[in-house]
Amino acid sequence: MNFDLDREHVELNQLLKLVGLADSGGQGKAIVASGDVTVDGVVELRKTAKIRAGQIVRAGDAEIRVLGVEGGGAPGSSRSDGLPVGVVDHV
C-alpha cells in the first residue's frame, strides 16, 4: 500500500495507526516492540522513529511505501488522483 506523507515525517507508531494496521498509537507501539516491523529492510524497535518519504515499512505481511506529496501539500488538500492528502491508497 502507498501512504502519501503530507509533512516532513510521521512517527512509526502513528503511521501504523494511519494505515489501519493498528487501532491506536499504543497498539502501534506494541507492534513495533514485537520486533515485527522493518524500515528499509532493517528491524526497527524505536516506536517513534521518524519515517520520511521514500522509506518502505513492513509490518507482518503488509508493505507501506511512504510517498512524498509534491509541493508539501497541506492536510486536507487534494492529491493528483483527487483523494485527500494522507489517504492510504491500497494497491
Q: What does the pLDDT look like over 33-88, one tens digit per residue?
A: 999 999 999 999 999 999 999 999 999 999 999 999 764 444 444 445 545 555 55
State the pairing for strand pair 62-68/2-5: parallel
Rounded Cα gap, residues 83 and 73, in angstroms = 12
Rounded Cα gap, residues 53 and 20, in angstroms = 19
pLDDT one-digit tens code per residue, 1-23: 999 999 999 999 999 999 999 99
Single pTM value for the model: 0.75
pLDDT at position 69 is 76
Cell 511512504 sits on residue: 66
